[in-house]
Amino acid sequence: MKGIPYFCRGEVIRGFGRGSKELGIPTANFPDSVVDHLPAEISTGIYYGWACVGSGDIHKMVMSIGWNPYYKNTKKSMETHVIHTFKEDFYGQILSVVMVGYIRPERSFDSLEALISAITNDIEEAKARLEVPEHIKLKEDNFFTSNASTSKSTGSTIMNGH
């Protein structure tokens, strides 16, 4: 897929509050400054890759890019579920991600249960796909160590195919 791997980072902002509360699957949301700079070749859908909060450990992740048809959003979003249990939320922290692959297009669901089931399947697929050597290599990319101290005042940094 064109544009992949895609590297980006930005401050975690408050989203709709549905991930943790309604779905039981917490997500970290990027601000408009990151979403608006996505290249045209990055289509909406579900992606997988690696994520790092601040200068912490690097974890597997899944990301939804789009309008979340089940919720009929009118604003495009980038919502990252880091596959790790954090002790507390991390609003205001810098989230660095590398999207390494595409799982599926976004779509609507007939029920909340069907949506949760699809997300759970996406998480399992991401875990498996990230075990291949070329994806593990991206976990070790210097993107996660360079600029890991990016402060809130600098806004977002976007890097593609670096």
What distance lies between CA 39 and its chain's CA centroid?
15
Q: Contact 42/158 with Cβ under 8 angstroms?
A: no
CA separation, residue 104 to residues 13, 19, 52, 107, 110 (Å): 25, 19, 23, 9, 17
Tokens 């899944």 correspond to 62
User: Catalytic one among 11, 22, 41, 79?
Assistant: 79
79 is catalytic: yes
Residues involved in catalysis: 79
